[in-house]
């Protein structure tokens, strides 16, 4: 039974935050929007920051930590990341409250939830994705964005996931023909950049078992379109005769997107 639910509070080039919940616990991945906007969007689903059991930071780029400094001042919630990521964050925000900053090296058990971190290739100090596994049901949700390519470590982390938040950052032709300067285009296309729609689709098609739900995330505002991302991935899966094995969702920068209608009523 998949008792894990995902609400993408924000996802894209301007800021990222996701709420991952079980029947007993709630976690955030990243606070890349302002703390005020974060609490506003959480309120839409009747969740307050005080109810969180933890926050997990993937890396130090501004679209993943924009609201972190204010959050740490206002709320007594543990915030986890790797040592090198914390060093990079605290180097930028020297006045940041540190009492709730925690290290995660590999994995930890938080209540009924096992959280495992895994390294991803990106141009940050020490970027990580996260897998959340319910000890009660065995349900697993994996969060993977900001990766330049799919590594064996990523494949191992994603294996067996019931829900997968997966980066589909750009359409390669839109990026190549778009307004970004050449150096930025090369960075995005590099092995320390971002996953394209096509790479996301091919990765899904290569999995032995597809997740029940897949949320396409971190779409570029300039180099992608929601329908294009969905169509590209669906066409790849359809070509492999695997489209019926999963349900696709596309995250949004400005509004909440849930992996099922039930997620929008988290009153428990």
CATH number of this structure's domain 5-264: 3.60.15.10
Token code pair at residue 268: 């428990």
How long a stretch of residues is the chain?
A: 268
Query: pTM for the complete prediction?
Result: 0.96
> Residue 33, exposed/middle/buried by CB under 10 A (0-12, 13-18, 19+)?
buried
Contact (Cβ atoms closer than 8 angstroms) between residue 219 and residue 243: no
At CA 262, angle to CA 258 and CA 264, rounded to 5?
55
Q: Which tens digits make up the pLDDT trace of 158-201?
A: 999 999 999 999 999 999 999 999 999 999 999 999 999 999 99
DSSP string, 11-64: -STT--EEEEE-SS-EEEE---S-HHHHHHHHHTTT--GGG-SEEE----SHHH
- What is the residue extent of each domain of the chain? 5-264
Which parts of the chain register pLDDT below 70?
Answer: 1, 261-268
Token code pair at residue 4: 């894990």
As a whole number of angstroms, the distance between CA 31 and CA 106 comes to 21
At 261 the pLDDT is 62
Token code pair at residue 246: 């999963």
SS3 137: coil
Contact (Cβ atoms closer than 8 angstroms) between residue 122 and residue 147: yes
As a whole number of angstroms, the distance between CA 48 and CA 148 comes to 34
At 265 the pLDDT is 46
Token code pair at residue 55: 């926050």
Report the mean per-residue pLDDT for the chain. 95
At 3 the pLDDT is 86
């Amino acid at each position: 039974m998949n008792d894990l639910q995902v609400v993408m509070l924000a996802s894209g080039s301007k800021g990222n935050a996701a709420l991952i919940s079980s029947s007993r616990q709630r976690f955030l991945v990243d606070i890349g929007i302002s703390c005020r906007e974060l609490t506003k969007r959480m309120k839409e689903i009747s969740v307050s920051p005080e109810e969180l059991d933890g926050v997990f930071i993937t890396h130090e780029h501004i679209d993943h930590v924009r609201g972190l400094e204010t959050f740490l001042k206002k709320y007594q919630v543990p915030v986890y990341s790797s040592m090198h990521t914390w060093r990079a964050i605290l180097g930028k925000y020297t006045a940041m409250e540190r009492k709730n900053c925690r290290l995660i090296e590999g994995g930890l058990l938080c209540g009924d939830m096992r959280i495992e971190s895994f390294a991803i290739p990106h141009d940050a100090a020490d970027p990580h994705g996260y897998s959340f596994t319910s000890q009660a049901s065995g349900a697993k949700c994996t969060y993977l964005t900001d990766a330049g390519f799919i590594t064996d470590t990523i494949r191992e982390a994603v294996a067996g996931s019931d829900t997968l938040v997966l980066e589909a950052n750009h359409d390669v032709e839109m990026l190549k023909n778009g307004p970004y300067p050449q150096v930025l285009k090369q960075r995005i296309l590099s092995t320390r950049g971002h996953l394209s729609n096509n790479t996301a689709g091919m990765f899904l098609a290569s999995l032995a078992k597809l997740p029940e739900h897949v949320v396409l995330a971190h779409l570029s505002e300039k180099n992608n379109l929601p329908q294009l991302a969905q169509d590209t991935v669906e066409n790849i899966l359809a070509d492999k005769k695997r489209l019926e094995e999963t349900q696709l969702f596309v995250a949004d920068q400005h509004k909440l997107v849930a992996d099922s209608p039930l997620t929008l009523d988290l009153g428990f």
